[in-house]
């Protein structure tokens, strides 16, 4: 049974049983405590906790998930995968334990011909919470399970909570017996490899507080509304139904594994370590593809860092399998073909996804080359110092700064006959993890505070009137100070205010929040920020500038009209620039993020190379032509599917409901789904001035533009600069580029001549430097400050000449100079000095320490530098002091 068929059977079964089928939410979650949707219940948290009223009594879904906390286990076990799909059915105050158990048992054990999954009853075991006699009795009555196939576990295994005060409850897990070939008999209590968990039924029935740990908390009592939250692992069911040993061999994953086998020329099933690497490739390629499809881009932080790590682990695994050449083009295409039947967007948008993947691979292959060079130097220095172990700090630097995998560092070190100080490396990694955990805890605290919004959200959604009105009368529903609901706030306090209706736009869709005020009887509030802390609820962060604001008072929200108009100009200009980009570059140049504020827009788009000046001018001209044509800007609210049929662009990383707002500028020329504020006609944008274009990743570019009055002011400033230049240089405007180029060439020639004269002057010091040599123990030493120099290369040339003049003497040359207001010290040693154990590298480091910088190099020639040029005399003295006197 194919994976997609299992999912469809699940949805069909629950739809037949009156469940609303809910589409999968994005892998990118709104929850600030999480980077990704890590479990099927994440999108339903607002409904399960009661913060947002559930729009349906019962639902079912297939949810995409990403979980990377067990990334090191990927490929080693049958069930660990970073991307997985969770089948879930949900009840919000509707059916409870009996219903959940009846549905699960019927779907699992009904024959395939009847639409079920066809599991044999004898192969199924269950676990329940140790005190949940009700669940145990229901399993006996509904499923006819004997006592020996119902096992009881404690809170660690069979009790669910968010880890925060709120809803919680016991759970019951269903296990499949894979047979004696996979381990001993005796149920999941004996062996959880043979007995594989496939479905978890959570009975959310209690409210808890004072949560001290996962297993230590206080139960307040029963919830007024009891919920059901279930999760069945689609990949786990698939590998059982397909008769394979693990999730990597199922139909949605195996094609990538088989291609990796073919590319490597090795055999799957022959060598354990190779098998793990094949599985890592299969898993990580699929996970990366799915993350890319939800708008994540490789980067060095947050979600992008996780994606980058998955991709780089893939490259590393292929390298360890003997493949150094690029492979992403083939591997990602294989994953697309396997997953597209379930997720058609993978096929329709594949060019964009492939471009990002291939660009990241190319970048990492260059990183590997650079990292190998750095590592080669570390190997040489380690051997040169007579050591057999590379410092853990070096390995961590390679891993953390350059993205160079530790496994590869270990491999190269071993080939060189060295080891790596893993204790120090692991300690540094642990420090990094602790910092990450602290950050995660701070994010978790932020989401925990969202329970304070429950009572306000229960009153209904905040009505936004700002599309048509700049002032709206309402009333104060809530006041929060320091995250705590209070009845009032007084002059000077910073507070959050919640009203029933607002004209103020909450930050979303790339558009920043409105500026404005809220006034009422006896008080005025300056609006600092406007956000949506939970879906459907708008919260205004304000400073009470006069009087006292209290719950129940009348309130009028007033938008700063000039700021709103400028922000609307910028947002409409963003749509025009997007359309112009697609006109110029093609449909693959899709938006990957934006920021719109008064007078300014920033627009990221999928593209792999810098735009030429001609292309930027063309984009700017197309966008401004649209402004001059005074195109009508219209908005419509319609069903999501209807909007897509009309060609509206749904932008990646944005989340849409069943009903959407579509913004047209000039009809279909620019048609996007957008909740932002816009001008009425394109002429109101005024002017668009592209002021910047840069890279924001391997496959993403960014354009920046000024809009309206800000664009005019920028052009006026540039005109003033041109006027100044024409006057100062006494050159007509159209001849300015040639005149400036001529002056730049003259300046460069002059600088080159000065550098030549400086180098000559330095060279003329050689005889005096040699004559001034002194004896330090058995060494002939030349240590001198040359003054100002054109470059470090000039200083190095003098040092080498002086060293040559010392002939066969055991000599050390240490020359310092001020190069562009930064100190440089060059140390050179003769062969005779090196035979006495004198090395240039440590001497250069000693000088650099005094200069406030770093240094090093070969035994015969090294360089140090820093920031304090006045310390050059002391630095040279330190070199001499470091020399042996005997």
Segment holding 289, helix H or strand E: helix 272-293
Nearest alpha-carbon partner for 815 in 855, 784, 775: 784
What's the average model confidence in pLDDT over 808-822? 90
User: In which band, very low, low, confident or very high, does the pLDDT at 454 lie, cut at 50, 70 and 90?
Assistant: confident
Per-residue pLDDT of 81-137, as tens digits, reads 889 999 999 999 999 999 999 999 999 999 999 999 999 999 999 999 999 999 999
The residue count for the chain: 886
What's the average model confidence in pLDDT over 618-625? 96
Fold of 462-559: Elongation Factor Tu (Ef-tu); domain 3 (2.40.30)
Q: How many CB atoms lie within 10 A of CB 270?
A: 8
Distance between CA atoms of 680 and 630, rounded to whole angstroms?
9
Per-residue pLDDT of 641-685, as tens digits, reads 898 888 887 664 456 667 889 999 998 899 999 999 999 999 999
Q: 3-state class of 49 per DSSP? A: coil
104 neighbors 230 (Cβ within 8 angstroms): yes
Average pLDDT, the chain: 89
759-881: CATH, from 3.30.450.20, 3.10.310.40, 3.10.580.10, 3.30.70.20: 3.10.310.40
Does 575 count as an annotated binding residue?
yes
Domains 462-559 and 583-614+624-716 agree in fold? no
pTM of the model: 0.69
Strand partners for 263: none
In angstroms, what CA-CA distances link 732 with 738, 739, 741? Answer: 11, 9, 14
What's the average model confidence in pLDDT over 755-779? 85
Residue-by-residue DSSP string for 217-234: -EEEEEEEEEEEEEEEEH
Strand partners for 496: 480, 541
User: In which band, very low, low, confident or very high, does the pLDDT at 71 lie, cut at 50, 70 and 90?
Assistant: confident
Q: Is the pLDDT of residue 195 over 90?
A: yes
Q: 3-state class of 454 per DSSP? A: helix
Distance between CA atoms of 682 and 783, rounded to whole angstroms?
71
What's the average model confidence in pLDDT over 371-394? 83
Does 540 count as an annotated binding residue?
no
Strand partners for 542: 495, 527
Give the residue, 793 or 78, on which the prediction is more confident: 793
Q: Classify domain 3-248 by CATH number.
A: 3.30.930.10
Question: What proportion of the chain, given as a percentage, has pLDDT over 90?
Answer: 59
583-614+624-716: CATH, from 3.20.20.450, 3.90.79.10, 3.40.630.30, 3.30.980.10: 3.30.980.10
User: In which band, very low, low, confident or very high, does the pLDDT at 443 lie, cut at 50, 70 and 90?
Assistant: very low
Nearest alpha-carbon partner for 851 in 882, 881, 880, 816: 816
392 neighbors 424 (Cβ within 8 angstroms): yes
What's the average model confidence in pLDDT over 386-413? 79
pLDDT value for 401: 66
Alpha helix (H) residue ranges in 730-837: 736-763, 766-771, 792-805, 831-835
Distance between CA atoms of 553 and 486, rounded to whole angstroms?
14
Lowest mean pLDDT among 326-330, 436-440, 679-683: 436-440
Phi, psi of 792 (to 5 degrees): -65, -30
> How do the domains of the chain map onto residue ranges?
3-248, 254-443, 462-559, 583-614+624-716, 759-881
Give the residue, 391 or 528, on which the prediction is more confident: 528
Distance from the Cα of residue 780 to its chain's centroid:
57
Does 171 count as an annotated binding residue?
no
Q: Is the pLDDT of residue 172 over 90?
A: yes
Does 674 count as an annotated binding residue?
yes
Distance between CA atoms of 864 and 884, rounded to whole angstroms?
20
Q: How many CB atoms lie within 10 A of CB 190?
A: 12
Cα-Cα-Cα-Cα dihedral sign, residues 69, 73, 79, 84:
positive
Q: Is the pLDDT of residue 446 over 80?
A: no
DSSP state of 611: P
User: In which band, very low, low, confident or very high, does the pLDDT at 886 lie, cut at 50, 70 and 90?
Assistant: low
Q: 3-state class of 278 per DSSP? A: helix
77 neighbors 84 (Cβ within 8 angstroms): no
Distance between CA atoms of 174 and 200, rounded to whole angstroms?
6
What's the average model confidence in pLDDT over 810-827? 91
Choose from 256-265, 637-646, 836-845 the range with maximum mean pLDDT. 256-265
| Structure-token pair, residue 60 | 């079912």
Alpha helix (H) residue ranges in 349-462: 350-384, 392-402, 406-415, 422-448, 454-457
């Amino acid at each position: 049974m194919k994976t997609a068929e299992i999912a469809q059977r699940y949805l069909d079964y629950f739809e037949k049983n009156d469940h609303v089928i809910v589409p999968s939410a994005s892998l990118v979650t709104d929850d600030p405590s999480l980077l990704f949707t890590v479990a099927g219940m994440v999108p339903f948290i607002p409904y399960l906790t009661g913060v947002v009223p559930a729009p349906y009594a019962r639902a079912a879904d297939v949810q995409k998930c990403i979980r990377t906390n067990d990334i090191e286990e990927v490929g080693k076990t049958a069930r660990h995968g970073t991307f997985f799909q969770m089948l879930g059915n949900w009840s919000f105050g509707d059916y409870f334990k009996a219903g959940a158990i009846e549905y699960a048992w019927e779907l699992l054990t009904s024959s395939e011909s009847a639409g079920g999954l066809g599991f044999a009853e004898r192969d199924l075991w269950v676990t329940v919470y140790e005190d949940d006699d009700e669940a145990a009795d229901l399993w006996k009555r509904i499923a006819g399970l004997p006592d020996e196939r119902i096992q009881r576990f404690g809170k660690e295994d069979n009790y669910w909570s968010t880890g925060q005060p709120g809803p919680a409850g016991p759970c019951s897990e269903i296990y499949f017996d894979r047979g004696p070939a996979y381990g001993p008999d005796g149920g999941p209590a004996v062996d959880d490899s043979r007995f594989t968990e496939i479905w978890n039924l959570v009975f959310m029935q209690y409210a808890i507080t004072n949560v001290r740990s996962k297993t230590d908390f206080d139960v307040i009592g029963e919830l007024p509304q009891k919920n059901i939250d279930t999760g069945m692992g689609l990949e786990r069911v698939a590998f059982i139904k397909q008769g394979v040993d693990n999730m990597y061999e199922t139909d949605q994953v195996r094609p990538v594994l088989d291609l990796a086998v073919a590319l490597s020329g090795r055999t799957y099933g022959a060598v354990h370590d190779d098998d793990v690497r094949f599985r890592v490739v299969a898993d990580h390629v699929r996970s990366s593809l799915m993350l890319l499809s939800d708008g994540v881009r490789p980067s060095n932080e947050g979600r992008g860092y996780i994606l980058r790590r998955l991709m780089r682990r893939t490259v590393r695994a292929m390298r360890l399998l003997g493949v150094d050449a690029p492979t992403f083009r083939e591997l990602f295409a294989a994953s697309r073909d396997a997953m597209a039947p379930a997720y058609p967007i993978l096929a329709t948008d594949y060019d964009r996804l492939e471009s990002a993947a291939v660009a990241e691979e190319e970048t990492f292959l260059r990183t590997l080359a650079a990292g190998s060079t750095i590592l080669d130097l570390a190997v040489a220095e380690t051997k040169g110092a007579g050591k057999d172990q590379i410092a853990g700090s070096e390995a961590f630097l390679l891993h953390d700064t350059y993205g160079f995998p530790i496994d590869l560092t270990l491999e190269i070190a071993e080939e060189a006959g060295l080891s790596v100080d893993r204790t120090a490396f692991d300690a540094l990694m642990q420090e990094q993890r602790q910092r990450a955990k602290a950050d995660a805890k701070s994010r978790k605290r932020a989401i925990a505070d969202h329970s304070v919004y429950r009572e306000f959200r229960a009153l209904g959604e905040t009505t936004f009137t700002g599309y048509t009105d700049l002032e709206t009368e309402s009333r104060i529903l809530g006041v929060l100070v320091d995250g705590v609901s209070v009845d009032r706030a007084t002059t000077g306090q910073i507070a959050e205010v919640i009203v029933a209706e607002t004209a103020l736009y909450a930050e979303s869709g790339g558009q920043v929040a409105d500026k404005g005020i809220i006034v009422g009887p006896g008080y005025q509030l300056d609006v600092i920020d406007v956000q949506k802390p939970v879906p459907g609820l708008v919260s205004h962060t304000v400073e009470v500038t006069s009087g006292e604001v209290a719950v129940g008072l009348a309130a009028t929200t007033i938008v700063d009209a000039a700021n709103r108009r400028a922000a609307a100009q910028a947002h409409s200009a963003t749509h025009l620039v997007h359309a112009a980009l697609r006109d110029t570059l093609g449909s693959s140049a899709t938006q990957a993020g934006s920021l719109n504020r008064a007078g300014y827009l920033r627009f990221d788009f999928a593209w792999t190379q810098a735009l030429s000046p001609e292309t930027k001018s063309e984009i700017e001209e197309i966008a401004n032509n649209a402004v001059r044509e005074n195109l009508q800007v219209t908005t419509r609210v319609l069903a999501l599917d209807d909007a897509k049929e009309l060609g509206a662009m749904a932008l990646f990383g944005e989340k849409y409901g069943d009903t959407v707002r579509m913004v047209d500028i000039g009809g279909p020329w620019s048609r996007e789904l957008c909740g932002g504020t816009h001008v009425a006609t394109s002429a109101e944008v005024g002017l668009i001035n592209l002021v910047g274009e840069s890279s924001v990743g391997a496959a993403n570019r960014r354009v920046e533009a000024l809009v309206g009055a800000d664009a005019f002011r920028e052009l006026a400033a540039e005109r003033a600069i041109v006027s100044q230049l024409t006057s100062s240089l006494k050159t007509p405007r159209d001849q300015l580029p040639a005149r400036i180029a001529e002056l730049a060439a003259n300046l460069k020639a002059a600088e080159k001549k000065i550098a030549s004269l400086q180098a000559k002057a330095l060279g003329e010091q050689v005889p005096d430097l040699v004559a001034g040599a002194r004896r330090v123990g058995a060494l002939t030493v030349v240590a001198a400050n040359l003054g100002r120099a054109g470059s470090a290369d000039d200083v190095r040339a003098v040092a080498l000449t002086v060293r040559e003049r010392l002939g066969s003497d055991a000599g050390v040359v240490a020359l310092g100079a001020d190069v562009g207001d930064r100190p440089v010290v060059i140390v050179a040693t003769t062969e005779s000095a090196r035979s006495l154990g004198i090395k240039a590298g440590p001497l250069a480091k000693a000088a650099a320490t005094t200069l406030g910088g770093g240094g090093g190099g070969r035994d015969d020639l090294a360089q140090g530098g820093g920031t304090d040029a006045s310390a050059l005399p002391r630095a040279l003295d330190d070199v001499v002091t470091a020399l042996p006197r005997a």
